[in-house]
Chain A
Amino acid sequence: MADKDLGDIANVTVKREGPTRRQLFELGAGLGLMLTLTPSGAFAQGKSELTIAIPADLGGWDQDYLAFDLVGLAVMKNCYPYMIEYGVKDQDGAAVMDTSNIVPVFAESWKGDAEGKVWTLKIRKGVKFPSGNELTARDVKWSKDRAFAAKANVAGVYRMIGLTEADQVQIVDDYTVQFTQAQPSDLSSHIQIISLYVFDSEELKSHATPDDPWAKEWTTKNPQSGGAYNVVDYKPGQEIVMEANPSFPSAKPRVARVKLQVIPAAANRRLLLEKGEVDIALGLSRRDINDMRNSKGIKVISSPSNEFVFMPMAMGTAPFDNPKVRQAMAHVVPYDAIVTNVYGGNARRSTSPVPLDMPGHSSKGYPFSFDIDKAKALLAEAGMSDGFESEIAILAGDVAQERAAVLVSSAARLAGIELKITPLDPGTLFQRRREKTIPLQIASGQMWVNDIEYLLATSLTPGGFLNYAGYDSPRLVEIFQVLNKTSDMATRHTLFDEVQTILARDVPWLVLAQPHFDLPVAARVSGWVQPVDGLLRLRYLDA
């Protein structure tokens, strides 16, 4: 749980032998996946079954038209065919995704040209969808045309790597597709890992109508399959049953059958796990999970995670427009109490707005500690020795956020700052976030691409969707533009360093912690691989 000095890791990444991210990532079929095999056996096909309790049903089966629904995205990660994926590595004894290692799954190969502007996808031959249709380049092209038409998640992240028009995606032959970006990017493969999921275009076209050329109606209600798992039964609002896909081109999933049961109340999910009626319970509170560490028949899988919890301050509104006030706030947060109480000790303290484990992370990015006296002194310097009043907005129903808010608000009171806690429903929360009218809030982020360039794009430059603080630093924007065009590692790391110096001075966020991903499971479950995007990969599990 101790913080690694991420400088070491950065050096390791830079001095890596062999291919850089830009070059060829052609690994033999299943090579990368050998890393995922658990000690209990190599290529045996599991006959076992897993039941997982999930907090909510997914909102729909159409990944192109789905809002940001983590349950939905996680389910779909497992049942849609994805072309490429990350490898797996060990970190602190836990298996996590290796973001420096891209592995083809449904693809046979994924190569970029020398510049990194034109990328070629070669698809494996003979892979079939459950309908019997073969997965070919036409399916990939149609799926990406659909994504551009949907103008949703995929279109959004494609913009980052310079893909904005459907005709930048070209069929070369039955099994080859080419992506021609407007500019080279260091982030291409990572973005494609998120985006290269494929629909059974023949099947969908058969359900299309003139009013609905992309078969949205049908796709929303009907489970899509063809990935590592196929959906064999779906009772809306109640359960989803999946079976391992015999045509899966990589190492076969070890668990043959997975049942996802919708159990909305967390207390009930916990009870079921303890009674042995489910094998995995998702979405439990830290406290529940801590209690279960010693329960018979249950073990808690704990992995370091890249999810970070932070409190952006509205830099455009008083009193948070004053840097001294922001620095004072940074001294008012009881960091250790938060790690201990809210996360039961299962979190790593954040030491920079740049997440731990991100190449280039440095603790110089956030030189603050819990110190009420320093806070008062800074407030006095800002001309606010009497303190001030403001509000903390949290998402209604989020227990961890509520607990953290209560702790921050209690501690702030000691410095004369009155913070009212306002739980908001999602609609109002998102609205106020867009309008940037939230003075102080608790939010969490998870960078699906483990790179500071991506962090800047999404969170620290104007226009970034996670930039709730309204942070606008001209120098940071300049740096971002340079990073966009540079792939020289030395230059990138110097710039990464400068980014954190600027962040330490400007303090757009209070950074709290990176909670571990704790998962309580039945003792017989193993094989967990911590995902960088928070979407569980069922095919690694064993029961």
Chain B
Amino acid sequence: MTLVAQKLSHRKSAWHRRRPRAEISRPLILTGSVILAMVIVGGIFAPLLSGWGPEEIDFAAFLMPPSTAHPLGTDGNGMDLWSRVLFAARIDVGISLSAVAIAVVVGSLIGGIVGYVGGWVDEIVMRLTDIIQAFPAFILALTVSAMFGGSLFNLTVAIGLIFAPAYVRIMRSEIRALRVRGFVEAAECAGNSRGSILFRHLFPNALTPVLVIAPLNCGWAMLTLAGLSFLGLGVPVPQAEWGAMISAGAADVVGGRWWTSTYPGIALFLSVFGFNLIGEGFLERSEQQ
């Protein structure tokens, strides 16, 4: 359901739109960036900001409410929640960014090449892309990670795989549009090789829509990762990751121990919100052009 906007962007209409008066793209991007920066700083400096390791067990404090020793309380394994929420930022943000990076790089490359070359290669690749996109995302991610083991790397690749097809499409349609506009003929006339045309002329021009969508994608990637971990099929146990923590805490919440699920939930929400703000700002900007 969140893959919708990326579908939209490749159907960009040629209508010229005049925007409303207030320019809000800047505040959006700014706010989003600030939020994300806080999250990322929290993740990077986690060891300094917390007195406990993320997987360190305090044998005397299982499932304790927030206290001076444990500012956010402890979870069912006796691990400090504040520390885990911080360290989880590394995993959640890191994997989301990496997964989208993989999707962008792989997707754009394939889409660009295919858009440029055309022909039967184009047909085959587009069919394959259709197939991957039609495949239910969760099943795909679960199967890939089950096949190669649930390591963080495999999980990243699996999620990247889900989002790659969109970039293939975007890049392809951009490149084809550019081809039509005569850039290619001009460059070819000037004697440039196909490779250099692709990389030096076409890609930079076509990259804009890709970059516009990327932040939004990061948010969705994070939610997908959290969803997988919520079902118990994501990061390895007992790694700190927000979705897994929410899942572990869900049963505790019913018993009145709200801190185990609430804090990771807030952290997850804030991070996705940050990405979404940036993404909305970018969209806003791009629609002004």
A and B touch in the complex (CB under 8 A): yes
Shortest CB-to-CB span from B229 to chain A, Å, is 12
Q: Which B residues lie within 8 Å of A406 (CB)?
A: 57, 77, 237-238
Among B102-120, those with CB < 8 Å from A are: none
Interchain CB contact (< 8 A) of B238 among A271, A421, A422: A421
A341 to B63, CA, bound (A): 10
Nearest residue (CB) in A for B237 is A421
A337 to B60, CA, bound (A): 9
Residue A204, interface by CB 8 Å = no
CB-CB contacts of B236-261 with A at 8 A, as 1s and 0s? 11100000000000111111100000
Interface centre among A266, A271, A403 (most CB of B within 10 A): A403
Contact stretch, chosen from A187-195, A284-292, A526-534: A284-292
A287 to B237, CA, bound (A): 19
Residue B27, interface by CB 8 Å = no
Listed from nearest, the 10 A-B pairs whose CB atoms lie closest are A291-B255, A421-B237, A267-B254, A410-B57, A267-B251, A406-B77, A406-B238, A341-B62, A270-B254, A397-B232
Nearest residue (CB) in B for A394 is B237
Residue A221, interface by CB 8 Å = no
Q: Which B residues lie within 8 Å of A271 (CB)?
A: 254
Q: Which B residues lie within 8 Å of A405 (CB)?
A: 237
Q: Which B residues lie within 8 Å of A422 (CB)?
A: 236
Q: Which B residues lie within 8 Å of A334 (CB)?
A: 59
A103 to B63, CA, bound (A): 46
**Interface footprint category on B:** 20 to 34
Contact A420 B236, beta carbon cutoff 8 Å: yes
Contact B232 A423, beta carbon cutoff 8 Å: yes
Shortest CB-to-CB span from B178 to chain A, Å, is 47
- Interface SS, B side: loop
Q: Which B residues lie within 8 Å of A291 (CB)?
A: 255-256
Among A421-457, those with CB < 8 Å from B are: 421-423, 425
- 10 CB contacts below 8 A, A to B, read A270-B251, A270-B255, A287-B63, A334-B59, A396-B233, A397-B232, A406-B57, A410-B56, A420-B236, A421-B236
Contact B255 A288, beta carbon cutoff 8 Å: yes
Residue B78, interface by CB 8 Å = yes
Add 14 more A-B contacts to A341-B78, A425-B146 (CB < 8 A).
A266-B251, A270-B254, A271-B254, A285-B251, A287-B255, A288-B255, A396-B232, A399-B251, A402-B237, A403-B76, A405-B237, A410-B57, A420-B236, A421-B236
Tell me whether A287 and B250 are in contact in the complex, defined as CB-CB below 8 angstroms, given that A405-B237, A407-B57 are known contacts: no
CB-CB contacts of B51-80 with A at 8 A, as 1s and 0s? 000011101001100000000000011100
A215 to B233, CA, bound (A): 39
Contact A337 B232, beta carbon cutoff 8 Å: no
A205 to B182, CA, bound (A): 80
Contact B237 A423, beta carbon cutoff 8 Å: yes
Among A385-414, those with CB < 8 Å from B are: 396-397, 399, 402-403, 405-407, 410
Q: Which A residues lie within 8 Å of B77 (CB)?
A: 341, 403, 406-407
Tell me whether A287 and B252 are in contact in the complex, defined as CB-CB below 8 angstroms, given that A341-B62, A403-B77, A406-B238 are known contacts: yes
Interface centre among A288, A291, A405, A420 (most CB of B within 10 A): A291
Nearest residue (CB) in B for A336 is B59
Q: Which B residues lie within 8 Å of A396 (CB)?
A: 232-233
CB-CB contacts of A261-295 with B at 8 A, as 1s and 0s? 00000110011000000000000010110010000
Nearest residue (CB) in A for B250 is A267
A410 to B62, CA, bound (A): 14
